[in-house]
Structure 1
Amino acid sequence: MNNLDLILVLLSIIIIVSLLVRSIYKKQIEKIDGSEKYLQNVFDVMPNIIIINNGHEIDKTNPAMLEFFGYKRLEDFKNEHSCVSDFFLVEEECLGAVVNSATWLEYILNSQEKLHNVCMKKGGKKHYFLVSAEFMSVDEKERSLVLFTDISEQKELEMQLTNAKLEFDLFMHFIPANILIKDEEGKIVYANDSANKFFNQESIIGKSAKELLPFNIANKVQEFDEKVLRDGKFEEISEFYNVQDALIVVRTLGFKIERQESNQIGLVILDITQSYLDKKELKNKEEIIIAQSRLAAMGEMISMIAHQWRQPISVIAMDANNILADIELEMLDEETLKSGSLDILQQTQELSKTIDDFRNFFKPEQNAVSVFVEDVFKDAFSVMGKSLQNNSISVDMDIKNGTEIITFSRELMQVFINILQNAKDALLEKKPKDKKISITIRDNKNGVSIKICDNAGGIKEDILGKIFDPYFSTKSEKNGTGLGLYMSKTIIERHLYGTLTAENIENGVCFEIQLPKTIQNRIAND
């Protein structure tokens, strides 16, 4: 190969290499241009506000920033504002335009380890942003890249949680109850102020019942907790004496709090000592009044017994006199003696029946029993019937009672007698032409209703609301103690868990009693 051929080969190689280099360079330029376009697209679609600052002013920003402040071009924004800090609002835990003698951006760049928030307003609504900034070099020039991330929803949720916690703490501070939360081991993890005061401690968190209570009470608390975890909830009333030897009565409601890692026990402890003592005192007063009422009733019963015995005793006395007269006249024969003796036996049986009727009224009753209201009323009527009959008072009964109820039948009988006696006294005082008492007994879905009405003219409206007050009576002083209706209402509403009301009707008054089907659940709860 001569020199010319060699030169041609070298030129060919140079041309080929040049073409290859040019092709590679072109592809690199295209690749760079594509990357720049991609980055620009990402920059433009970012929902967060992005600002590039050259140290003096905003050099570049994304559409999100212009849209937030209501501008179409960056130049329009810069003509009216030198910095986004013009829009910063003064808010707690938010940066202002100047922080510790430095601009907000300088402060952020020099405090990278901290989280920085700013608040700005748009359309009358506050927006909160988390702000971060980084140094960057562009064309060998130093720039600052600032990112504003809108955290308004998180901030609003945080404020709601903060307010909810403040409201919860305020509620727990003033609620008149001791609130505790314990873990499964019995350690207290939460206690409100009332609970701390109840145990006379500055804080009981981290402590157990064994550290706060005597050994025997702590064991009962442990048993209570076990029932709560087993059954889901439990409630009881307990009594104990504190270190000052004063009686403390508490009502405790426990409920299980199910959590993924472990269950907890919630406790609401109410100090009911004062209400317990008040209730006990009221009960003692009621028992005294009941005793007075029973004594008054006993006097009325004795009067009725004397009245109902008068006729049988007269018959017995007459038979005895006839027998003695026949003996004196030697005219006594077997038939006459037998007739007189049978008559005496009949009258003594009548006397015995009267004793049984009144003895049932005063028989003590410890437990509620299953009875028909109709039967209880008939027992009451057997006591009052003769007295009503002797005073020309007619009684109309409309009874449709097929449902047994569980109640204290003797106490119900006393109420029936009180109301019947009250109606009898009113009828004798007002003296209507046809003295009448009507009784209606009906079953209903909740139990039984009883109405006892008279035609004695009714009760004056201005005193109708007072007739159930203790010692209030519309009768004359010698005939009324003012306890009958009061005790009737007390028995019906507090012992039999029903209602007793009175209303005027045409020509009279009507007492209505509503009784539940059973009182056993109510007794258990009390």
Structure 2
Amino acid sequence: IGVGRDITELKLQQNNLEEQAHIIQQANDAFIRTDSEGNIISWNPAAQKIFGFSKDEIIGLNINILYPKNDHDMLKQSILLLNYQDEMRSTVELLDKIGSNIAIEQTISKLVNEDEANILFVLKDVTFNKQLSSEINKQEKIIYNQSHHVSVGQMIGNIAHQWRQPLSVITTSVSGMLLKKEVNSLSDKSFDQTCNLVLQTSKYLSNTINDFQRFIKGERIFETFNISQNIQSCLNLQGPVLKDNHINIVKEFDETLELKGYPNELTQCFMNFINNSKDAFLMNNTAPKDRFIFIKMKKSDDQLEIKFNDSAGGAPKEVIQKVFDQYFTTKGEQSGTGLGLNMTYNLIVKGMNGNIEAQNELVEYKGKTYKGLCFTIHLPLNNE
């Protein structure tokens, strides 16, 4: 009976080995077995497909032929570490037969039987995944640049508009002062008042230039910044848009709060919210006296919540579901690019480890209830 049981167990083991061998032969990943010195013992079809070496060419060679020379010491260290842990996992750049780089996810483990200790290399080709990721990053950069260029064009118009009145104030004040001097009616008090007015107006123009310069540079600098000043900079840049469209801003937040992130890009996100609300007011024919954008900010634990809520009547459910999709717009091809809110989503979620959502909300203000679309952002205060 004992002999029969042993024979049965041997047959089961043999069947298992045959099944494992079949799986390895059919696998999409390279399965390479070496001896303890790294000399190749077995080489499956996937390994040949990935690296270009046939079985006859590679058997007996050392596996370091697949590794750049600078990584040979690292490979030896990885094999030695198998004495202390079951397996080693990493992503590496290996070489094929003609010396081209291949992105590989590798798992190295030790195989121990009664006779010898072998090493199993399971190598997964992730070159396509890496190329795809690189292409996605490239597309996101293109989207950001397109959106930024659109915004810069809008800003140039805003700056021109924003400068007209201050320049008019300076011109009128200086002309009036010169006229008074000609008729000998220029008093010291009038002279001082005119000079102070010109200085104040010039300072305003200088601040506008600084805001615009920071924005137009498009510098992607990760730094600690005051979030309320960032919002105010956005409001300064959008001043003509707000004034011309009779949009009132209602702010409610702590002006001392600081955040780690990309201030220049965040400014553009806020500009996108304002432009979206402006378009909604016009599309929905909202009465000028009822055009509000409510900006609220509050800190909770290790997060900062920022809300941009307008009073334009809200948006249909099907629009809200697609509002962050690339190239989605309700304004038509002539008026909208569908890039702004998609860029905003990518910056908040991928660039600053936060989240953003859109929903219709009601806001009580001065005894009246307003309905509108609300963008809610959550950002980590200690973002790294």
TM tier, smaller: 0.7 to 0.9
Q: In structure 2, what is the Cα distance between the partners aligned to 1:319 and 1:209?
A: 83
Could you tell me how far 1:416 is from its partner in structure 2? 2.0
Could you tell me how far 1:280 is from its partner in structure 2? 3.2
Is 2:135 the partner of 1:281? yes
Q: In structure 2, what is the Cα distance between the partners aligned to 1:345 and 1:386?
A: 22
SS at match of 1:458: coil
Q: In structure 1, what is the Cα distance between the partners aligned to 2:225 and 2:117?
A: 47
Could you tell me how far 1:353 is from its partner in structure 2? 0.5
Q: Residues 237-275 of structure 1, C-alpha deviation per residue, up to 9 Å, x if partnerless? A: 4376752x7x54313334564979998765443322233
Residues 179-188 or 482-491, more deviating: 179-188
In structure 2, the residue matched to 1:253 is 106
Matched-pair contact (CA < 8 Å) for 2:248–2:293: yes
Q: Pick one of 343, 363, 376 that aligns with 1:487.
A: 343
Q: In structure 2, what is the Cα distance between the partners aligned to 1:195 and 1:258?
A: 19
SS at match of 2:297: strand
Q: Which runs of 5+ in 1 are unaligned?
A: 1-128, 131-148, 521-526
In structure 2, the residue matched to 1:220 is 71
Q: In structure 1, what is the Cα distance between the partners aligned to 2:10 and 2:383?
A: 50
In structure 2, the residue matched to 1:363 is 217
Q: Pick one of 46, 55, 58 that aligns with 1:202.
A: 55
Matched-pair contact (CA < 8 Å) for 2:36–2:119: yes
Matched-pair contact (CA < 8 Å) for 1:399–1:441: yes
Q: TM-score, normalised by structure 2?
A: 0.78
Q: Residues 190-218 of structure 1, C-alpha deviation per residue, up to 9 Å, x if partnerless? A: 544322332322264543134x348xx14
Is 2:150 the partner of 1:299? no
Is 2:355 the partner of 1:499? yes
Residue 505 of structure 1 aligns with an amino acid whose one-letter code is E
Change (3 A) 1:195 1:475: same
Could you tell me how far 1:444 is from its partner in structure 2? 5.3
In structure 2, the residue matched to 1:178 is 30
Residues 309-318 or 508-517, more deviating: 508-517
Residues 399-408 or 178-187, more deviating: 399-408
Q: In structure 2, what is the Cα distance between the partners aligned to 1:409 and 1:240?
A: 42
Q: In structure 2, what is the Cα distance between the partners aligned to 1:189 and 1:367?
A: 51
In structure 2, the residue matched to 1:384 is 238
Identity of aligned residues (%): 29
Q: In structure 2, what is the Cα distance between the partners aligned to 1:382 and 1:162?
A: 78
**Aligned pairs for 1:410-429 within 5 A:** 410-429=264-283
Q: In structure 2, what is the Cα distance between the partners aligned to 1:489 and 1:334?
A: 56
Matched-pair contact (CA < 8 Å) for 2:92–2:106: no
Q: Residues 36-85 of structure 1, C-alpha deviation per residue, up to 9 Å, x if partnerless? A: xxxxxxxxxxxxxxxxxxxxxxxxxxxxxxxxxxxxxxxxxxxxxxxxxx
Q: In structure 1, what is the Cα distance between the partners aligned to 2:256 and 2:178?
A: 53
Q: Residues 254-301 of structure 1, C-alpha deviation per residue, up to 9 Å, x if partnerless? A: 456497999876544332223333333343333333222111101111
Residue 375 of structure 2 aligns with an amino acid whose one-letter code is F
Could you tell me how far 1:165 is from its partner in structure 2? 4.0
Q: In structure 2, what is the Cα distance between the partners aligned to 1:242 and 1:452?
A: 57
Could you tell me how far 1:356 is from its partner in structure 2? 1.0
Is 2:328 the partner of 1:472? yes
Residues 375-384 or 465-474, more deviating: 375-384
In structure 2, the residue matched to 1:452 is 308
Change (3 A) 1:187 1:447: farther
Q: Residues 141-164 of structure 1, C-alpha deviation per residue, up to 9 Å, x if partnerless? A: xxxxxxxx6628x836963x4565
Q: In structure 2, what is the Cα distance between the partners aligned to 1:376 and 1:171?
A: 58
Could you tell me how far 1:180 is from its partner in structure 2? 3.7
Larger Rg computed on CA atoms: 1
Residue 318 of structure 2 aligns with an amino acid whose one-letter code is D
Q: Which runs of 5+ in 2 are unaligned?
A: 363-370
Q: In structure 2, what is the Cα distance between the partners aligned to 1:174 and 1:235?
A: 23
Q: Pick one of 338, 342, 345 that aligns with 2:199.
A: 345
Q: In structure 2, what is the Cα distance between the partners aligned to 1:443 and 1:225?
A: 51
Matched-pair contact (CA < 8 Å) for 1:407–1:518: no
Matched-pair contact (CA < 8 Å) for 2:359–2:373: yes
SS at match of 2:306: strand
Q: TM-score, normalised by structure 1?
A: 0.59
Change (3 A) 1:248 1:350: same
In structure 1, the residue matched to 2:171 is 317
In structure 1, the residue matched to 2:372 is 508
Q: Residues 65-111 of structure 1, C-alpha deviation per residue, up to 9 Å, x if partnerless? A: xxxxxxxxxxxxxxxxxxxxxxxxxxxxxxxxxxxxxxxxxxxxxxx
Could you tell me how far 1:347 is from its partner in structure 2? 0.4
SS at match of 1:471: coil
SS at match of 1:253: strand
Change (3 A) 1:330 1:445: closer
Could you tell me how far 1:417 is from its partner in structure 2? 1.7
Matched-pair contact (CA < 8 Å) for 1:177–1:270: yes
In structure 2, the residue matched to 1:193 is 45
Matched-pair contact (CA < 8 Å) for 1:181–1:190: yes
Q: In structure 2, what is the Cα distance between the partners aligned to 1:401 and 1:256?
A: 56
The alignment yields a C-alpha RMSD, in angstroms, of 3.7
In structure 2, the residue matched to 1:272 is 126
Residues 176-185 or 342-351, more deviating: 176-185
Matched-pair contact (CA < 8 Å) for 2:302–2:382: no
Matched-pair contact (CA < 8 Å) for 2:220–2:264: no
Residue 291 of structure 2 aligns with an amino acid whose one-letter code is K
Residue 320 of structure 2 aligns with an amino acid whose one-letter code is L
Q: In structure 2, what is the Cα distance between the partners aligned to 1:278 and 1:235?
A: 19
Q: Residues 403-428 of structure 1, C-alpha deviation per residue, up to 9 Å, x if partnerless? A: 86543332222222212221222123
